[in-house]
Amino acid sequence: MRMRSTFTAATALLVVAIGATACSSGGSNNSAGSDKAANRYGTVHAGELTVVTSSDLTPFAYIKDGQWQGFDVELAKKMGEKLGLKVTFSDHSFDTLLPLVANGQADITLGSIADTDKRRQTVDFTLPNYTGTNNIVVLNSSSINGQPDIAGKKLGVIAASLGATYAQKYFTSSNLVTFPDNNAMLLALQGKNIDAMLIDGQTAEVYAKQYPVRTAFTTVDPANRGAAWVVSKKEPKLRQALNAEFRTALKDGTIKSLMEKWDPAEPSGPVIDFLTKYYADHPNDTYPQS
């Protein structure tokens, strides 16, 4: 069973009420200044980085033996330590992740989330820390081997994902079926309720090792900006601090070593080359505002 943690409106009102009571006591100006100084990055909770993600985004973010694991998870923990922030994670369906950040209920979401113009209307992004492919995954017994074979077939996609947007644009002859997460989509494929599913290359690799499925073919979005962490538009200081840490993690080899640890089947070289060029092309930590 997934444990979900949300910051409700009622909770928000309670926090506001408590804050108002505290400030009404003597020395309110000093208290306000102290609170602001204690929360230098403007996070939901002072001294804490509240992360929402989905628990099936292998190898980026997932739960195993009751513990959060993965490339993005470990990188977030390392960055939290560098910034002096305690990092907490909670599990949610993919289509709720960006709204939770946009509405101020979480500081960031992560897990190979593509940076797009549409998503930038409501949230901001850090510099990317990964880039990859979309894979069409089918049962081993399937006759689907290329894009022409998808015509008229039921293709599973994750609701509100870049994959869904990509499929709507490039797989117009297919019948798209949306799912809340990868696990639900995999079950549908195994039950032959869909003919194929569109997932990222890393998850495709993991599934191919564990289940009787294979990658029929891969696709690359020509408008690719890479995958990044999603942050609120309201707190640019957090985004700038994370961008600075991403640059350090790329330069000192942390990103490369974590990729090789959590996704050893995928060569890290092309990803590191992509990030190196991208960071050089966007040298200001105020990205994407600069």
With 0.85 as the threshold, say if the pTM is over it: no
Q: How many CB atoms lie within 10 A of CB 42?
A: 15
Q: What is the pLDDT of residues 233-242, one digit of tens each?
A: 998 999 999 9
Q: What is the pLDDT of residues 50-74, one digit of tens each?
A: 999 999 998 999 999 999 999 999 9
Cβ pair 155, 197 in contact under 8 A = yes
Q: What is the pLDDT of residues 270-282, one digit of tens each?
A: 789 889 999 999 9
Instruction: For the chain, give the percent of residues with pLDDT over 70.
Output: 86
pLDDT (0 to 100) of residue 190:
98
Of the chain, the end-to-end C-alpha distance in Å amounts to 42
**pLDDT for 256 beyond 50:** yes
The backbone torsions φ and ψ at residue 53, rounded to the nearest 5 degrees and listed phi first, read -160, 180
pLDDT (0 to 100) of residue 219:
82
pLDDT (0 to 100) of residue 290:
61
The pLDDT-based confidence of 220 (bands split at 50, 70, 90) is confident
Q: Which residue has the tokens 């073919």?
A: 217
How many Å apart are CA 262 and CA 281, to the nearest integer?
27
Domains and CATH numbers, the chain: 41-131+225-281 (3.40.190.10), 134-219 (3.40.190.10)
- The CB-based long-range contact list for 7-13 (8 Å cut-off, 24+ gap) reads 7/44, 7/50, 7/104, 7/105, 7/106
Q: What is the pLDDT of residues 180-196, one digit of tens each?
A: 999 999 999 999 999 99
Q: What is the pLDDT of residues 102-130, one digit of tens each?
A: 999 999 999 999 898 889 999 999 999 99
pLDDT (0 to 100) of residue 170:
93
**pLDDT for 16 beyond 50:** no
**pLDDT for 41 beyond 70:** yes
